[in-house]
Amino acid sequence: MIQYLELSKGFPEIDKWQKYSWVKVQVPGASEVQILCKLFNLPKDFVYDTLDPDERARSEWSGDWSMHIIRIPLYSPSNGVPYKTISMGVFVSDDTIITICKERERISSRVLGFTDFNPLLSEPRNFFLNILLHTAQKYLIYLKRINVQAHQIEDELVEMSNNEDLHKLLKMQKCLVYFLASLKSNELLLNKLSVGRRDDVRKIDKNLLDDVVIETRQAIEMTTIYSEIQDSMMQAFSNVISNNLNNIMKQLTSITIILMIPTLIGSFYGMNTINFLEDSRYGFAGIILVSILLSLLGVFWFRKKKLF
């Protein structure tokens, strides 16, 4: 689907392309790719690269176009992990900006949606920087959600360790790995953007670029910190589970040894125990009493050694 939006307040939709407009492309088919390449003289290979969900962030230049692939965050609970990242292509010229995303409108609108108009946004290059700024802020929002969910899982694991909570924690860790890799790619893109072609750099708003860099680096730092915390948390819970298992095995071993005491006493003489019971009036009671005393002595010894 191809939409033409005017770079003005509210981004009204227009019927066809005109100067200073935003061409928003979502889930494009082969025919729409052909239209884009023919109408705007875009390199077909780069357009198809933007549709690869695993494509790394990078920048290239072709004619009047500066072409970029950025990594954007996405809430995707049906994908096995709560959050993931996908690639999005951005093509910028003096009077047009084109965004290409493989996902549908409900996704790209959240990442690219703007409520207040800024005069700087009428310039396509600064509009692109604002996209990067909103993307970095979206990363920060998702990172805070991941941190809150991780704390909830931690509280549940403290009360009772189970595989389901550990799996949830592992999924959060995978999200952080995706975020960190994508944010570092975006940071490299920003570095390249700041030293790109002279005409592009001159038209970029420096304050806006600084804001994007700061937000991106903050997201990288937060992702790194949260990832290290979750690594430590996973190791700590792994040690706790291992220690609990060792304690249970020690207790079961102690119980087994104590229960063996009466069996051992009854087995000293084998069948001769029956003759002992027949010859002595209190033979059975004596054997029971000795078994109980030795068992209690075993319990006392194991408790003293803190094995039971």
Cβ pair 69, 56 in contact under 8 A: yes
The pLDDT of residue 221? 92
Q: 218 and 137, same structural domain?
A: yes
Look-up of token digits 């965004």: 99
Q: What is the pLDDT of residue 256?
A: 83
- Residues 102, 78, single domain; the answer is yes
pLDDT in the model for residue 121? 64
Same domain flag for 6 and 102: yes
18 and 73 share one domain: yes
Q: Are 203 and 297 part of one and the same domain?
A: no
Same domain membership, residue 233 and residue 248: no
Q: Do 235 and 269 have their domain in common?
A: no
Q: Would you state the pLDDT for residue 111? A: 44
Listing from the earlier edge strand, what are the strands of the sheet with 2-6? Answer: 13-14, 2-6, 21-26, 96-101, 83-92, 65-75, 58-62
CATH assignment at residue 65: 3.30.460.20
Residue 143 belongs to domain spanning: 2-242
Instruction: Please tell me whether residues 229 and 249 are part of one structural domain.
Output: no
3-state secondary structure of 261: helix
In the prediction, which pLDDT does 10 show?
66
Domain count, the chain: 2
Q: Give 36's contacts (C-beta < 8 A, 6+ positions apart).
A: 2, 23, 25, 28, 42, 47, 98, 100
Residue at which a domain ends, from 198, 219, 242: 242
Which domain-ending residue is among 199, 224, 242? Answer: 242
Domain end call among 215, 242, 269: 242
**Each residue's pLDDT expressed in tens, for the chain with a length of 308 residues:** 888 888 776 677 788 888 888 888 888 888 888 888 888 888 888 888 888 888 888 888 887 888 899 998 888 777 667 888 888 899 988 888 888 888 765 444 444 445 455 555 677 888 888 888 888 888 999 999 888 888 887 777 766 666 677 777 788 888 888 899 999 988 888 887 776 555 555 567 778 888 888 988 999 999 999 888 888 877 777 777 777 778 888 888 888 888 787 777 767 655 555 565 556 666 666 677 777 888 888 888 877 777 66
- Model pLDDT for residues 207-229, shown as the tens digit of each residue: 888 888 898 899 999 999 988 88
Instruction: Decide: 257 and 295 in contact? Cβ < 8 Å.
Output: no
Q: What confidence tens digit (pLDDT) does each residue in 92-139 have?
A: 888 888 888 887 654 444 444 454 555 556 778 888 888 888 888 889
Helix residue ranges per DSSP H, the chain: 30-40, 44-50, 105-112, 124-159, 163-194, 198-203, 206-266, 272-279, 283-304
The verdict on 236 and 274 lying in the same domain is no
Q: For residue 43, is it left (φ>0), alpha (ψ between -120 and 50) or beta? A: beta
Same domain as 273, residue 190? no
Q: What is the pTM of this model?
A: 0.75
Same domain, 280 and 218: no
Q: Examine the domain organization and report whether 206 and 298 are in the same domain.
A: no
- Which pLDDT score is estimated for 32? 86
